[in-house]
Amino acid sequence: MENNESFHLSSHKYPDIPPIEVTSPGVVNLLTKLNVNKSTGPDGISPYILKETAHQLSPLLTCLFNRSLASGEVPTDWHLANIFV
């Protein structure tokens, strides 16, 4: 028996993720929880400095994170990592 009904196959296997928005209070919250006893990352910035300047840095970092999310691109420097075994 032939079925003449058409059906739509979704081109997406998974549902879309709702938009993500990074907020300045959220960035401050995370920065103030940094462990100051950890070593610096590839950027050479101490977690102590990030924690102590959280309120001053949060507007700039929030803008940077939201632009990255909106464009779907990550700055090349964010691909770097220091790995210690």
Give domain status of residue 44, yes or no. yes
Q: Is 66:31 a contact under the CB 8 Å cutoff?
A: no
Both structure tokens of 78: 């964010």
Give domain status of residue 4, yes or no. no
Task: Give the DSSP letter string of 32-45.
Answer: TT--TTSPP-TT--
Give domain status of residue 5, yes or no. no
Determine the Cα–Cα distance for residues 22 and 31; give it in Å rounded to an integer: 13
Q: Is 65:22 a contact under the CB 8 Å cutoff?
A: yes
The domain tally of the chain equals: 1
Give domain status of residue 78, yes or no. no
Give domain status of residue 11, yes or no. no
Give domain status of residue 13, yes or no. no
Domain that holds residue 28: 24-72
Give domain status of residue 38, yes or no. yes
Could you read off the pLDDT of 8-43 as tens digits, one per residue? 555 668 888 888 889 999 999 999 999 999 988 888
Could you read off the pLDDT of 35-74 as tens digits, one per residue? 999 988 888 899 999 999 999 999 999 999 999 999 989 8
